[in-house]
Amino acid sequence: MPPALPAGDPVPADGALPPAALAGIDRRRIGVYVHVPFCRVRCGYCDFNTYTVPELGGHGATLGTFADAAVAELDLAARVLATDGPGPREVGTVFVGGGTPTMLPAADLGRVVAAVDRAWGLAPGAEVTTEANPDTVTPQLAEQLAAAGFTRVSLGMQSAVPQVLATLDRTHDPAHVATAVRAVRDAGLQVSLDLIYGTPGESLADWRTSLETVLALEPDHVSAYALVVEEGTRLAAQVRRGEVPAPEDDDEADKYELAEDLLSRAGYDWYEISNWALGPQARCRHNEGYWRGDDWWGVGPGAHSHVGGVRWWNVKHPGPYAARVAAGRSPGAGRELLTRRQREDEQVMLGVRLAEGLPLDQLGEDGRLAVAGLVASGLLDGRAALAGRAVLTLRGRLLADTVVHRLLG
């Protein structure tokens, strides 16, 4: 079962935002996230808002009408963000995630990108990413994606080791990753590979194999995530029943350190705790927007949005979602108006994850006082602190939650 949405205030039927949220929107960066909530099968570890085709039965939502619904939401978004003064800037980044976006025809994905362009305009050189299952990416699809305006493909590789993939319920053939990478690159797109470490049964040697396989493919960008056993997933039930061991923090720490070691030696620099890029131009600018507190509009069932301190989230199920947007109503299920304090806390919580770090003057007094101690215990970089920024050391990256707690006082 997908995770429950947060508790929040109701969203007005027309999706209108308080004037304060729109004030200064022309001076802020804006991105668009599109959530495609479909998968062929549900993986045992995954708690994302996604549905298999049989699960959709009877709700009138189908893969075939998803693009229509997304376009309808973007039309609504254009109305909501329109102001008397200068409106939003052109969109700098689009990210299509899921689910499995490539369950949809490339043409449908293209229609959604076009709708973004129609709503606010796509900035020249905009980054347009889609996630993709390695099995589905053929040279033909890659060409279609490029033609539809995509500039970047993120492949859910997860591991190069068959039994690790089996534990994760991933059905793709590891050999297809190489062909997918080649196809994407040949179409002139950037390529990113996603990895998961800490899967039950994965040895350190398995993880090294995955990393080395990735490096051999020379992607532009690598994401590596520690496996989190989420409540309500099949994996959580297996762990609870003792069928598979729970991921172990120390093991994940070893694996993170190995990733940092191998990736950095191959020229990949970390720019966020779980993300490495081959040079600054290879970073995922869309995701950077989340960590910098930019605005973004999340399109699709269960997608979260953030505009000027208002965060809201759409209804989760594709059926009610489609019905609402078709009727011209906001699909928002709930929202929160962040207090100044909450926004500041979020800024610390997110900003400190970045290699560029956080300006110390964004911290409260308690936080500034904690910096020296964090440097002394090897969690923050001393030189960066002297230069006025809180930047995590390698040890600090693994203990970022502790650092955040200290910085928030």
Residue 304 near other proteins by CB under 8 A: yes
Interaction between residue 157 and other proteins (CB under 8 A): no
Q: Looking at 192, 287, 330, 393, which residue binds other proteins (CB under 8 A)?
A: 287
Residue 362 binds other proteins, judged by CB under 8 A: no
Output the smallest distance, CB 107 to other proteins, in A.
Answer: 26
Residues 6+ apart with CB under 8 A from 263: 211, 215, 222, 270, 276
Nearer to other proteins (CB atom), residue 182 or residue 405: 405
| Nearest distance from C-beta of residue 144 to other proteins, angstroms | 26
Q: Which residue has the tokens 């080791």?
A: 161
Give the range of 105-113, 134-142, 166-174, 398-406 binding other proteins by CB under 8 A.
398-406
- Is 225 in a helix, a strand, or coil? strand
User: In degrees, to the nearest 5, what angle opens at C-alpha 340 toward C-alphas 334 and 342?
Assistant: 60
Measured from the CB atom, the residue of 50 and 183 that comes closer to other proteins is 50
* Binding of other proteins by 246 (CB under 8 A): no
Closest approach, Cβ 37 to other proteins, in A, equals 12
Q: How far is the CB of 119 from other proteins (least distance, A)?
A: 18
CB-based burial label for 113 (10 Å; 0-12, 13-18, 19+): buried
143 is a contact residue toward other proteins (CB under 8 A): no
Contact with other proteins (CB under 8 A): which of 186, 218, 243, 249?
A: 249
Q: Which two tokens stand for residue 107?
A: 């043409």
What are the strands of the beta sheet with 310-314, ordered from one edge? 269-272, 275-277, 221-226, 190-197, 152-158, 122-132, 91-98, 30-36, 295-299, 304-307, 310-314, 332-337
Q: Is 402 in the site for other proteins (CB under 8 A)?
A: yes
Residue 401 touching other proteins (CB under 8 A): yes
Minimum separation from the CB atom of position 251 to other proteins (A): 9
Q: How many CB atoms neighbour CB 205 within 10 A?
A: 8
Which is closer to other proteins, CB of 326 or CB of 400?
400
Widest Cα–Cα separation across the chain: 61
Nearer residue to other proteins within complex by CB, 176 or 199: 199
Cα 92 from Cα 294, distance rounded (Å): 11
Three-state helix/strand/coil letters over 37-76? CECCCCCCCCCCCCECHHHHCCCCCCHHHHHHHHHHHHHH
Distance CA 117, CA 287 (A): 19
Give the residues lining the site for other proteins (CB under 8 A): 3, 6, 33, 224-226, 228, 249-250, 252-253, 256, 273-274, 287, 290-291, 296, 298, 302-306, 311, 313, 336, 342, 345-346, 349-350, 353, 377, 379, 395, 397-402, 404-405, 408
